[in-house]
Chains A and B, each alone.
Chain A
């Protein structure tokens, strides 16, 4: 438990440093708001159209595939820790697990889900 308090302290101090730096910058900097300065940057000219972009569905697909493989890899961590002591049986079990998921990856690949276009 004291370990996690240490990590909590790291989070706290880690947050303190950028907050402190940005606050110092906010205090020290001039404050002269001006609509042109505060306008959105678009290669130095006036913005064209809404600042809304058609979100490409492909990003979502990649995040989805990532999610499945993330969960799989996280499952493999306890397996990996005990691998040295458990012998061939555990190795084969883990390999079956990985192979089933590689089959899933191949399916996704063949269906063309991993293309960017």
Chain B
């Protein structure tokens, strides 16, 4: 028996010009404009109507969902007071554990940035199809960023938005943590900050990996903590590599602050002994060991055998 798609194909086609014409053989077809991926045009998602829809999604859907799933404890917002008074665009750079990080941060970032924010999202993941592209652009304010290669177009588009007064949320690790530890920060956030002359706010997220880590299908509620750090302004004559290292160091110090306390973290920061985000340089089992056991519920025994 023929499949439904095959049956559909057998239906008589409407004649041209009611349907698209076939391309004659031997003729080079015109290149199709990209409808997804890194070249996806997200301008429409920053028009007034889309912004209203996004604000509604953030406040009516994302906020309650985050409150239930992540129970966030937000700290360090006082460090942004002066920036808030200036009101200019800012780049928020955070570590990345989970898909929950974006809604958690979008609902944590304070005004005046929250509703004038775009998210640097992986073009090869969030913009794979037209549907995911549209959804990401509308709900998250996502803008595609190439993470597999250097793409001038991605950078130009992000820079143009920052210059228009939009703030950016970016995860400089380039993807979610595969094992619970951080990955080296890439230079995108630093490059954009230097190019546009805007400050970078380091942000540390703790706990989202327990809710929905990479590879996990269903979320499990847990508590999270979002810690905002003091804004970093590029020093005179610095380059994006050094500035990226400084951002990574700032996020590592925030991680230390969360794990221990602010005073211990400051002492280690000044002594140059802040534990790196990437964890110990050791075999995988020791890295996993060093993470501790954040998910106690996994310990619950599952019945392997039918009841006797």
A, B from the same assembly: no
Chain B residues with a Cβ under 8 A of chain A: none
